[in-house]
């Protein structure tokens, strides 16, 4: 399959839907809606929402029914980036090649924009049509867990507590499985649920998502060292400057690359029972370690 064509098609669908879901900029008070749209519509790979749609297709579902959840996951991802970039967190000046939200709108408005995006995400999920209410509720529950203490929040706390300290491999894996991996995993599981996947399929998709999340984080850590700012959209070496624990700092670059490749192989193996409808997921797993941004 042509992955670039697939990604372009899904990005077009997702961006169009996001534009409809986000409130217009001319609504009063305009500044909050400009801040929301600024971060969400500033580009990005749209990996997580694409995983939602691809997983829905993998179990034979209609991806149109998963578009609301796909957009919701992207809104949560955008909110997390806004908050991660704040001075009290990672204190970054650039994101996707543009000044971070708080650099444009101020810290208070950036916090509120992130809050609004998270709330809007659940408003969108719970408005899903054409799916049994109990499935929609389960998707909302799982996404909430992945965004909160069951995932991103816990991971961010461990990340902050670990700055400037030496941590072991188990703590590093725990941190990134929560901070980064949880939202990637739930994206895949949500798509499978909305597509009508069987319990066995959902379990396999969860394993796939876990391994893809691990590979994605390792690749991100490597890009922080070797990436080109023109492609990554952010300054290289920020993890080193902040004395953050990363896979390269613990294992070295060569072993980190091997760990990422192994995670991708395990992700693809988790889809062994799926037919060609899961080929986009297989290609996306390889993409996360081959990307340059």
Check whether 233 has a pLDDT greater than 60: no
Residue 280 has pLDDT above 70, yes or no: yes
Averaged over 13-30, what is the pLDDT? 96
| Residue among 206, 172, 214 at smallest CA distance from 186 | 206
pLDDT at 96: 87
Answer yes or no: are the C-beta atoms of 289 and 260 closer than 8 Å.
yes
What is the average pLDDT across 39-43? 93
> How many domains does the chain contain in total?
1
Dist CA 214 CA 42 (whole Å): 25
What range does the domain containing 138 cover? 3-290
Largest distance between two CA atoms of the chain: 52
What's the pLDDT tens digit per position in 77-88? 999 999 999 999
pLDDT-derived band at 228, boundaries 50, 70, 90: low
Residue range 82-105, pLDDT digits in tens:
999 999 998 999 998 899 999 999
Which tokens belong to 261? Answer: 């490749």
Please enumerate in sequence order all residues whose Cβ is within 8 A of that of 92, keeping only pairs 6 or more positions apart, or say none: 84, 85, 100, 234, 235, 238
Comparing 165 with 279, the larger pLDDT belongs to 279
Tell me the CATH number at 21: 1.10.600.10
Percentages (nearest 5) of helix, strand, coil residues in the chain: 75, 0, 25
Structure tokens at 263: 């995670």
């Amino acid at each position: 399959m042509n992955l670039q064509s697939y990604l372009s098609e899904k990005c077009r669908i997702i961006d169009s839907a996001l534009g409809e879901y986000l409130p217009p900029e001319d609504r009063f008070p305009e500044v909050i809606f400009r801040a929301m749209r600024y971060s969400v519509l500033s580009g990005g790979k749209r990996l997580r929402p694409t995983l939602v749609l691809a997983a829905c297709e993998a179990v034979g579902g209609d991806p149109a029914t998963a578009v609301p959840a796909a957009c919701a996951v992207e809104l949560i991802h955008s909110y997390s980036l806004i908050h991660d970039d704040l001075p009290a967190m990672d204190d970054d000046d650039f994101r996707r090649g543009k000044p971070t939200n708080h650099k444009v709108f101020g810290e208070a408005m950036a916090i509120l924009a992130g809050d609004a995006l998270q709330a809007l995400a659940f408003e969108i999920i719970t408005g899903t049509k054409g799916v049994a209410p109990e499935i929609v509720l389960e998707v909302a529950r799982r996404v909430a867990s992945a965004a909160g203490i069951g995932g991103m929040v816990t991971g961010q706390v461990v990340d902050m507590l670990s700055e400037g300290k030496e941590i072991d491999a188990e703590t590093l894996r725990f941190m990134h499985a929560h901070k980064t991996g949880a939202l990637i995993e739930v994206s895949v599981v949500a798509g499978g649920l909305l597509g009508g996947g069987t319990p066995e399929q959902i379990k396999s998709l969860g394993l796939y998502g876990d391994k893809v999340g691990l590979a994605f984080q390792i690749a991100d850590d490597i890009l922080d060292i070797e990436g080109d700012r023109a492609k990554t959209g952010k300054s290289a070496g920020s993890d080193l400057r902040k004395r953050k624990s990363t896979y390269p700092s613990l294992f070295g670059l060569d072993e980190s690359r091997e760990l990422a490749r192994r995670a991708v192989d395990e992700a693809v193996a988790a889809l062994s029972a799926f037919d060609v409808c899961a080929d986009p997921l297989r290609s996306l797993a390889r993409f996360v370690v081959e990307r340059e941004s």
